[in-house]
């Protein structure tokens, strides 16, 4: 059961990467950002980078078991 939940979390992280990218591009295209928009822009960049990093760690882990 715990393996299935962890696998689902990793799959959700993989699917979140393109949406973080779209969010970064959306905030990047806003001219004259307010402070809130700038903070959200920074958080979306951090989330994008962190998600890529965690996905990289997941795929580079030698103990991956793909059996459900």
Is 51 a domain residue? yes
Is 68 a domain residue? no
Across 14-18, 21-25, 54-58, 60-64, least confident range:
60-64
Question: How much is the average pLDDT of 40-51?
Answer: 95
Q: Specify the number of domains making up the chain.
A: 1
Report CA torsion sign: 5, 54, 49, 52: negative
- Position 26 pLDDT exceeds 80: yes
Q: Are 46 and 67 in contact (CB under 8 A)?
A: no
Average pLDDT, the chain: 87
Question: How much is the average pLDDT of 40-55?
Answer: 94
- Position 66 pLDDT exceeds 80: no
Q: What is the pTM of this model?
A: 0.78
Is 66 a domain residue? no
Host domain of residue 19: 2-60
What angle, 0 to 180 degrees and rounded to 10, lies between the N-to-C axes of helices 35-60 and 2-28? 140
């Amino acid at each position: 059961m715990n393996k299935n939940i962890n696998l689902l979390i990793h799959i959700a992280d993989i699917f979140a990467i393109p949406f973080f990218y779209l969010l970064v591009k959306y905030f990047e295209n806003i001219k004259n950002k307010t402070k809130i928009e700038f903070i959200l822009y920074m958080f979306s960049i951090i989330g994008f980078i962190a998600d890529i990093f965690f996905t990289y760690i997941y795929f580079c882990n030698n103990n991956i078991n793909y059996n459900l």
